[in-house]
Chains A and B, each alone.
Chain A
Amino acid sequence: MAKQLVVKNKLVKAKALKRLMAFLVDIILLNFIVAAPFRGLLSGMMPEGDFSQVFNALSSNPNLVYQFNLIYIIIGVLAFIYFTLSEYKFQQSLGKMLFGLYVVGTEKRPSLLQVAIRNLFLVPVFPFILLVIIDPILLLFTHRRLSDFIAKTDVVEYEKRIY
């Protein structure tokens, strides 16, 4: 019986599902690394009760809303730093490593500015927050996020050929 030879020699556009799975792995990781230290603060701040009670408590306390926003911005910025530095240095985040995905730019290796632009959707401030809605829709139809279009980057994987 002939031995099968697996060769990975051609870069192809990564599948949306794989990208989603890799992103989920990164989010789980960031939940432990970045969000965990803020959990005590957030649980102490969160008003108790049903949705309307929580809504009323928040709408009557703008200072509390401001502090919530501040925490989410800090978490977002730290997540942005994680994705930007890891994708600049290794062309991969930990999730992408697990699924064999790479971030590439026009010059093959993306510049710091390019990876920073493609990860701006993580910073929860206007207008970047809009990318949270637009990016997945575009990914679904074009297999590329709007952030990737703007940054001129793409996510690829090696095509496996079995001989």
Chain B
Amino acid sequence: MIYLLVGLFILSYIGAGILGSGSSQLSGNVAVIQIYGTIGSGDSWLEQTVNPADTIPLIERAAKSPQIKAVILDINSGGGAPVASESIVNAVKAINKTTVAVIGDVGASGAYWIASATNRIIASKFSVVGSIGVIGSYIDYSGLLAKYNITYQRFVGGELKDIGVPYREPTTREKAILQARVDAMQAQFMEEIRLNRNLSEWQVAELSSALFYTGDDAKRLGLVDDFGGMGTAEAYLKKQLNTTNIQLVTLTNKKSLIESLSQLSSNWAFHLGRGVGTALANLKIDPKISFGS
């Protein structure tokens, strides 16, 4: 009889474990969605990325799930592409539940925009927060091309069609147009943050430099509500949801075995290549050694 009871207990635990891992939405009432890496619409083998195509379904799943009462965005990102950021912001705004952003090491630019769409922003005193600005810079290769006698043959239909190509120096007019576009995007970005965070004029004026901030400055400027981490978020949610039962469940996109193996091998190859590269860079070559006679 004892063996039977022990066997049943083990079977139950295995069954509960399989069901719990099979459906992460089952095991908690607060969804945690990670925003780690550069925000953009593409995937990279070499670094973590936040792709809206992956992230938005997770946000929607948390929003629709009846057992999920609140959503925590676990942010560690320096931002990225504005359109990708905006689509995630819109998905976060559509959540009809309490939302909290917990900023880790970095929550800057587009990542901060996403954080600003939540009800509460929690960050460490050492988190890098802010950098609310737009970069439109690029490298001008025209000098390099000229050095090697490579010329850019320009054939355009429309005077400004090739504005911003890196093979020639931009004209004064083009520079003015590009800067005006960047300024317009910056103004739009600031307005979004101002509305999300209900910022005052003086705060907006200070933030418009697009500087990043840490700790007290970020709080003084209205970028952060509380200092802390996940524990602070849990305490806030307990109060907001009027419950003592907060169970976090991290929503992730499940990768197929092939995808996991592919990522593993590409990471391995990257680190191997970096190791070889570092070793070669540190190699001291004896100048006396020469190849050939």
Contact = CB atoms under 8 A, between A and B. Distances in A.
Q: Which of A37, A61, A75, A86 has the most CB of B within 10 A?
A: A37
Q: Which of A29, A41, A43 has the most CB of B within 10 A?
A: A41
B90 to A, nearest CB: 23
A71 B19 contact: yes
Nearest to B6: A33
A112 to B, nearest CB: 14
B19 to A, nearest CB: 6
Nearest to B12: A37
Interface residues of A, number: 33
B16 A47 contact: no
A40 interface: yes
B66 interface: yes
Chain B contact residues, majority secondary structure:
helix
A80 to B, nearest CB: 11
A85 B245 CA distance: 38
B26 A85 contact: no
A36 B12 contact: yes
B71 to A, nearest CB: 15
A89 to B, nearest CB: 8
Contacts of B23: 67
A139 interface: no
A70 B19 contact: yes
A44 B12 contact: no
A113 B188 CA distance: 74
Nearest to A68: B26
Nearest to B10: A37
B19 A44 contact: no
Given A67-B23, A82-B4, A38 B29 contact: no
A67 B19 contact: yes
Contacts of B29: 44
Chain A contact residues, majority secondary structure:
helix
Nearest to A54: B66
B66 A61 contact: yes
Interface string B7-20: 01101110111011
A45 interface: yes
A122 B113 CA distance: 54
Nearest to A30: B8
B15 A37 contact: yes
Given A41-B27, A44-B247, A78-B11, A57 B16 contact: no
Contact of B12 (A34, A48, A70): A34
Contacts of A34: 8-9, 12
A67 B1 contact: no
B179 interface: no
B1 A86 contact: yes
A67 to B, nearest CB: 6
20 contacts: A33-B9, A37-B9, A37-B16, A37-B17, A38-B19, A40-B247, A44-B26, A58-B66, A60-B66, A67-B26, A70-B19, A74-B12, A74-B15, A78-B11, A81-B11, A82-B4, A89-B1, A89-B4, A90-B1, A94-B1
Interface of A: 29, 33-38, 40-41, 43-48, 57-58, 60-61, 64, 67, 70-71, 74-75, 78, 81-82, 85-86, 89-90, 94
Given A37-B15, A82-B8, A85-B4, 18 more contacts: A33-B9, A33-B12, A34-B8, A35-B12, A37-B12, A37-B13, A37-B16, A38-B15, A38-B16, A40-B27, A41-B20, A44-B67, A44-B249, A46-B67, A47-B66, A64-B67, A86-B1, A90-B1
